[in-house]
Homo-oligomer: A and B are copies of this chain.
Amino acid sequence: MRSFIPGVFTSYPHRQRGTSAANASSAGNAPMEVTKSLCPAFSSDVLIRKLRRVADISDDDAAALGGLTIQEKDVPANRDIVSEGNRPTNSFVVLDGSYKHTGAEKRQITSFFVAGDLPDLHGIHLAVMDCSFSSMTPVRLGLIRHSALRSICEQRPRVATAFWRSTLIDAAIYREWVTNVGRRDAYARTAHMLCELIVRLRFAGRIEDHVADLPITQAALGDAVGLSAVHVNRTLQALRGDGLIATPGTKLRALDWPGLVQAGEFDPTYLHLKDPDVAF
């Protein structure tokens, strides 16, 4: 009985030519085994906290957000939530657990998501998904109907701004990933990715005692940084050997945060944190 792990989500393009067309047209919600429940108190709390990290939200706005109908769903690990080509009518917030974005053979993960994140918020205005989302660990999601999101955006410009800003930060992260994958060698690249994950987990309140629980397989890390699993392994060994990190079990501990930051040429500006207390 494994408990929910504060973790990460990913998103990745599907690229399964041939077969994808057929699957893709089967619109609507992707298949997933779920335990439905309705518990708006918790889920809207996660959402509001996230938005407050991203933008200024008045108590009025928060109250309105609290009125949103959020349908909670528990999804096991490694399930597709949304697939490329889908035309979902919901977006979702990650309440707990980790989520990723994947592809077929030559799979590339284009982002990880942690509690509070809104991975497919862009679905409000982009009808057809251009990528897929799936869970990396057991995860709890909060589904919010696009119609509800649109109407709250119309009524509350401040909330609309917050959502917009959230998608802009996602974009900034993608930009940084392009640079990471395009121009840094394996060592710097993985260091950079670990820095980002640590900061985001920290910001989401998911780091305790300087130890992040990163339920990420080395293969998945490789899919994110564009390296083979084997080489990720060797790179992690190098990082450990240099005393930058320790990886007890599924955890990740930054033993030498300044060193790790330097190794990854990590500058958190692109995360657009409202309170950039990134020091570890």
Which chain A residues have a beta carbon within 8 Å of chain B's beta carbons? 11-13, 15, 17, 55, 84-85, 103, 106-108, 110-111, 122, 125-126, 128, 130-131, 153-154, 157, 160-161, 164-165, 167-172, 174-179, 181-184, 225-226, 265, 267, 269-270, 272
**Does the CB pair B165–A110 fall under 8 Å?**
no
* Pick from B110, B111, B171: contact of A170, CB under 8 Å: B171
CB distance from A269 to the nearest CB of B (A): 5
* Pick from B122, B181, B269, B272: contact of A182, CB under 8 Å: B181
CA distance A128 to B154 in the complex (A): 26
Greatest chain B CB density within 10 A among A84, A103, A122 is at: A122
Q: Please provide the 7 A-B residue pairs with the shortest distance between their CB atoms, ordered closest to farther.
A: A182-B226, A174-B174, A171-B171, A130-B270, A108-B179, A108-B183, A181-B182
**Does the CB pair B110–A164 fall under 8 Å?**
no
CA distance A170 to B272 in the complex (A): 18
CA distance A13 to B178 in the complex (A): 10
6 contacts across the A-B interface (CB closer than 8 A): A108-B183, A122-B171, A154-B157, A170-B171, A174-B174, A174-B175
Give the residues in chain B near A168, CB-CB below 8 Å: 122, 125-126, 167, 171
Give the residues in chain B near A175, CB-CB below 8 Å: 11, 13, 110-111, 130-131, 174
CB distance from A12 to the nearest CB of B (A): 7
Give the residues in chain B near A157, CB-CB below 8 Å: 153-154
**Does the CB pair A172–B130 fall under 8 Å?**
yes
